[in-house]
């Protein structure tokens, strides 16, 4: 299985998995970043790269820029005229600079540092599997009336009252949560009853492919999206596990590269937000960061163009009524700090170590305006050791798992149990797992308040959350005597939990 780039992986799940094969207008101008290799230093016969060209939103301007793109040797892959974003391929190493000089272009830049169609090499991560006998033991512990066979190991549901909420209101079939991720196995028996094919697509190329089944993962190692989908809306059907909102619908918008890197490039994410908005999706879940930069800095023209394009797309989704929920990240970074060290970018070629200001260099999409940013907690209700945080950066928190916080469950596993491709189940931990818990609660709120705008849903999520407050003593989750993070703020709002841990029961009462 692909090692998800440790605590800084674009897929925001920490790479320790137990596979259970049971049969059941924001553009600041300054930043601090080490400069990347300038386009002029590249070879004149460089292979093609992908670009985003962002224009004024006017049909004549977009058309004129498209003609300029062709004149400069570029190929238009997709043109999103409603937001003024054009996805382009070009082999000209100076293409970005040339386009920035074209009238009507507001920003333009490469979306990757590796050539198109070339893949990197990912490390292999450890896999631990449970035997069928162990799976049966878990199922035997699910003795509560109406519980699913493996629900005894789903401590996250109980932590936010989702098990009790389901008895009151499991959510409306009129609400859909789109999983923007590695693909979803819609044939899984826990996902199939709630899957919406008409709201699903493959956006990997930057252009939506709605061919039937194109949204599915290419192989079992692209399991991340299926796990996320199960957390949100696994059906209460007497099979396997349950989702936070088991009555709502879930769709899949695939954006991960179909190779071992599983990278999420900007043009794919732009396509996903626009597709979700145009197909009536109420909520999107975003358990990733946009590759190849962990933080996109505004003093770099390529990174600035990436921020511009993704922000235009997610703002368009908000205007169309879509709430976007995103994972805060697994770097244990303080997103309200004066400076952070990024040693992982770009992750599609050779990374360089640079110091960034998280107020001017942005983790996408979680730090974009209007996006609900989610930190992770373990079974004890305290911040997960890996979870990024930050006063004013985190909106709410939710169960994401923590290997240091061990629950009294059949498997004694502090991670999150959910669905995997091939009718399987497994444990993962990460802010990737916290975000879908919040997306599920948001779906319950949208079910109860069908006319609620994204802004109102954000307010409702914050209002119903329970805040444990900052830790009374030093935060040392691994017990090694070193303080790993500092919580700022008060009992109502703070850097570890934002406004608090979401509460599914309160959402339906």
Domain boundaries, the chain: 10-27+127-508, 48-110
CA–CA dist 5, 3 (Å, integer): 6
CA–CA dist 498, 376 (Å, integer): 11
- Find, among 265, 173, 277, 177, the residue nearest to 228 by Cα: 177
Catalogue the E-assigned strands of 311-423. Answer: 323-327, 340-345, 352-356, 361-362, 372-377, 396-399, 416-420
pLDDT (tens digit per residue) in 457-468: 999 999 999 999
The pLDDT of residue 35 is 37
Contacts of 410 (CB under 8 A, 6+ apart): 137, 138, 140, 141, 152, 153
The pLDDT of residue 146 is 72
Torsion of CA 478, 440, 325, 337, to 10 degrees: -20
The answer to whether the CB of 458 falls within 8 A of the CB of 498 is no
**The total number of residues written for the chain in this structure:** 509
The answer to whether the CB of 307 falls within 8 A of the CB of 366 is no
pLDDT (tens digit per residue) in 275-307: 999 999 999 999 999 999 999 999 999 999 999
Element (H, E) at 297: strand 296-297
Task: Give φ, ψ of 105 to 5 degrees.
Answer: -85, 125
Homologous superfamily of 10-27+127-508:
Peptidase S8/S53 domain (3.40.50.200)
Instruction: Name the stretches of the chain with pLDDT < 50.
Output: 1-9, 15-44, 118-131
CA–CA dist 248, 189 (Å, integer): 15
CATH number of 48-110: 3.30.70.80
């Amino acid at each position: 299985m692909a090692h998800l780039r440790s605590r800084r992986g674009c897929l925001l799940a920490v790479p320790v998995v137990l596979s259970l094969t049971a049969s059941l207008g924001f553009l600041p101008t300054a930043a601090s970043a080490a400069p990347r290799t300038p386009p002029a230093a590249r070879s004149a016969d460089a292979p093609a790269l992908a670009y985003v060209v962002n224009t004024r939103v006017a049909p004549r301007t977009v058309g004129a820029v498209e003609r300029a793109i062709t004149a400069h040797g570029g190929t238009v892959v997709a043109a999103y005229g409603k937001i003024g974003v054009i996805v382009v391929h070009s082999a000209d190493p100076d293409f970005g600079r040339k386009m920035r000089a074209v009238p009507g272009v507001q920003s333009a830049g490469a979306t990757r540092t590796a050539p198109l169609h070339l893949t990197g090499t990912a490390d292999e991560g450890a896999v631990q599997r449970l035997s069928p006998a162990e799976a049966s033991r878990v199922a035997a512990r699910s003795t509560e009336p109406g519980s699913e066979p493996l629900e005894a190991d789903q401590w996250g549901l109980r932590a936010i009252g989702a098990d009790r909420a389901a008895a009151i209101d499991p959510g409306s079939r009129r609400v859909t949560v789109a999983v923007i991720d590695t693909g979803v196995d819609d044939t899984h028996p826990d996902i199939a009853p709630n899957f919406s094919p008409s709201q699903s697509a493959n956006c990997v190329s930057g252009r939506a492919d709605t061919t039937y089944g194109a949204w599915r993962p290419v192989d079992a190692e692209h399991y991340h999206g299926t796990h996320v989908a199960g957390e949100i809306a696994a059906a209460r059907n007497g099979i396997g596990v349950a989702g936070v909102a088991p009555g709502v619908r879930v769709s899949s918008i695939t954006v991960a590269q179909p190779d071992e890197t599983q990278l999420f490039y900007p043009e794919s994410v732009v396509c996903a937000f626009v597709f979700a908005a145009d197909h009536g999706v109420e909520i999107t879940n975003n358990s990733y960061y946009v590759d190849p930069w962990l933080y996109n800095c505004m003093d770099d023209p390529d990174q600035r163009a990436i921020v511009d394009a993704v922000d235009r797309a997610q703002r368009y989704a908000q205007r169309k009524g879509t709430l976007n929920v995103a994972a805060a990240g697994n770097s244990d970074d303080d997103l309200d700090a004066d400076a952070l060290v990024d040693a992982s970018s770009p992750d599609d070629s050779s990374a360089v170590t640079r110091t960034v200001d998280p107020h001017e260099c942005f983790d996408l999409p979680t730090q974009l305006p209007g996006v609900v940013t989610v930190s992770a907690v373990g079974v004890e209700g305290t911040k997960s050791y890996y979870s990024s945080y930050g006063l004013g950066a985190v909106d709410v928190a939710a169960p994401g798992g923590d290997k240091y916080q061990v629950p009294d469950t059949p498997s004694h596993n502090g991670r999150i149990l959910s669905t995997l491709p091939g009718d399987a189940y497994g444990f993962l931990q990460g802010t990737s797992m916290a975000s879908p818990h919040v997306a599920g609660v948001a779906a319950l709120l949208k079910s109860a308040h069908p006319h609620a705008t994204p802004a109102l849903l954000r307010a409702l999520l914050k209002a119903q959350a329970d805040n444990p407050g900052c830790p009374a003593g030093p935060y040392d989750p691994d017990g090694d005597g070193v303080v790993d993070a500092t919580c700022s703020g008060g009992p109502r709002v703070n850097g570890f939990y934002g406004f608090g841990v979401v509460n599914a029961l309160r959402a339906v009462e």
